[in-house]
Every structure is written in C-alpha cells, then in structure tokens.
C-alpha cells in the first residue's frame, strides 16, 4: 500500500532539511544561546536559566514568538491549491532565502544583529516546520531525534514490527548528528558562512522538488528502502 511518505523525492528533500536543521540548531545554540528550530529545547532552556545567574527569558520568548509567526505564515501557504511537492518546494525556497538573509545580517554586523538574526531564523524555522509537516514523511514532520529513535526500535523486528522505514530513519538520525557537527565546526570559523551553507542546503532541497522528470530522477523514484 502506497503512502505519501513513499514519494522518494520528498523523502530526500526532507532529509536534506534535517541535516540543515541539525547545523542551524548547533549554530543558534552556540552563538545565540537558544534554539531557533527546536522549540521544546528552547522552553526547557528558559526554565533552567530562570534559576541560574544568567537568564535567556527575553531571547527565548522572542525565538518562540518569531517561530509562531513563521508557523502561521506556513499554515496559510500550505493551504493554497497546489500539489504537495510544489507547495513544499515553494516553502523551502522561502526558508532558504530567509536563512541567507540572516547570514547577510550577521556578516555586515549591523546594529542589533543578534536579535535581527534570531528573529529571521526563528521565523524561517516556523515556516520550515510547516513545509516538513505538509510533506507528510513519517517521523520527519519535525526533525527531532527522539521520534526517529523511538520509531526505529518500535517498528523493528526485535519489537515484532515490520521494520519499515529503517533506512530513512537511520539516514535522518545520522544526518541530524552530522549536520550538528558540521554546523558547530563551520560556525567556529565563520558564523555567516555557516548560516549561508544551511540556507543553500535548504534551497537545494526546494530546487530538487522543482525539477522535471530526468533519467537520474527516475532512478531515484524507484528507490524503495527509504
């Protein structure tokens, strides 16, 4: 039985976004002290910092509010009368453009760049979550390791399950981890370049969904293990 999660091009695009998300959250945690994409962690960080000497209440609430703005915009955009693949592509291209704008803000060192970068990145991540939710790839509506790890074991042969989606989940887990490592490494050398690479990766994922049929893409469409 076919499901929407079996669209190989959407799966590949969402895994690319997962790699980018791992990188961006590593960058934002290291240089902004809050997550701009993983709001569960941001809420926990705010709570922990409330009882410490250094509070991140202001930046944390700003990140959450900006993320919700992006989610509202994304919710409106996914309800347009377009195909799922086209809608996700449009949203990812917009997310990529916003992330590149954030890289430019950090690069020119404008006044208030911390807050401007935080707002742009959080809005972009709210929009990105709408895109990945609309893609309807199992376990990847939000790039988070908890659901991926749970699904990997819950559906495994060990647990008496069918072991479907194993390669997709493994690819996403290692992509998230690898993206975080690359994001931390790249941002230790240049924050704007690291952010720009994230933007280009997400833009590339969107571009993949725009491409018309091609022999290479036909081979991709026949990939079943994902």
Tell me what percent of the residues of the chain surpass a pLDDT of 90: 47
The alpha carbon torsion through 97, 205, 207, 133 (nearest 10 deg) reads -80
Which pLDDT score is estimated for 215?
Answer: 54
Tokens of 205: 């994922």
Residue 19: pLDDT band with limits 50, 70, 90:
very high
Segment 62-85 mean pLDDT: 90
CA-based nearest residue to 226, from 149, 144, 173, 166: 166
Question: Smallest Cα–Cα separation from 103: which of 209, 190, 208?
Answer: 190
pTM of this structure? 0.85
CA distances from residue 92 to 3, 141, 169 in whole angstroms, order as listed:
22, 14, 21
pLDDT band at 3 (very low <50, low <70, confident <90, very high): very low
Query: Positive or negative CA dihedral for 101, 106, 108, 112?
Result: positive
Instruction: For residue 48, count CB atoms less than 10 angstroms from its CB and return exposed for 0-12, middle for 13-18, buried for 19 or more.
Output: exposed
Is there a contact between 124 and 132 (Cβ–Cβ < 8 Å)? no
Q: Would you give the DSSP letter of residue 158? A: G
Q: Average of pLDDT values for 102-114? A: 91
- Say if residues 118 and 224 touch (Cβ distance below 8 Å): no
The two three-digit tokens of residue 94, written as one number: 């917009």
- 143-200 tens-digit pLDDT: 677 777 777 787 777 777 777 777 878 888 898 899 999 999 999 999 999 999 999 9
pLDDT in tens, 202-226: 999 999 998 876 555 555 445 444 5
pLDDT above 90: residue 109: no
**Per-residue pLDDT, 225:** 45
């Amino acid at each position: 039985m076919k499901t929407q999660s079996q669209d190989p091009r959407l799966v590949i695009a969402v895994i690319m976004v997962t790699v980018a998300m791992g990188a961006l959250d590593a960058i934002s945690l290291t240089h902004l002290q809050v997550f701009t994409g993983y709001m569960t962690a941001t809420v926990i960080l705010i709570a922990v910092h409330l009882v410490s000497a250094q509070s991140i209440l202001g930046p944390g609430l700003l990140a959450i509010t900006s993320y919700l703005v992006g989610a509202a915009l994304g919710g409106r955009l996914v309800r347009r009368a377009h195909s799922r693949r086209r809608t996700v592509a449009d949203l990812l291209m917009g997310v990529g453009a916003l992330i590149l704008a954030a890289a430019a803000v950090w690069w020119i060192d404008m006044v208030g760049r911390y807050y401007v970068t935080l707002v742009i990145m959080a809005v972009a991540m709210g929009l990105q979550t709408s895109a990945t939710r609309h893609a309807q790839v199992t376990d990847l509506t939000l790039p988070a390791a908890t659901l991926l790890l749970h699904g990997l074991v819950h559906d495994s042969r060990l647990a008496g399950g069918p072991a479907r989606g194993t390669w997709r989940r493994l690819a996403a887990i290692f992509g998230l981890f690898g993206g975080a490592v690359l994001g931390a490494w790249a941002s230790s050398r240049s924050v704007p370049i690291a952010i720009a690479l994230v933007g280009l990766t997400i833009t590339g994922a969107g571009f993949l969904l725009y491409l018309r049929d091609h022999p290479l893409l036909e081979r991709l469409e026949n990939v079943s293990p994902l």
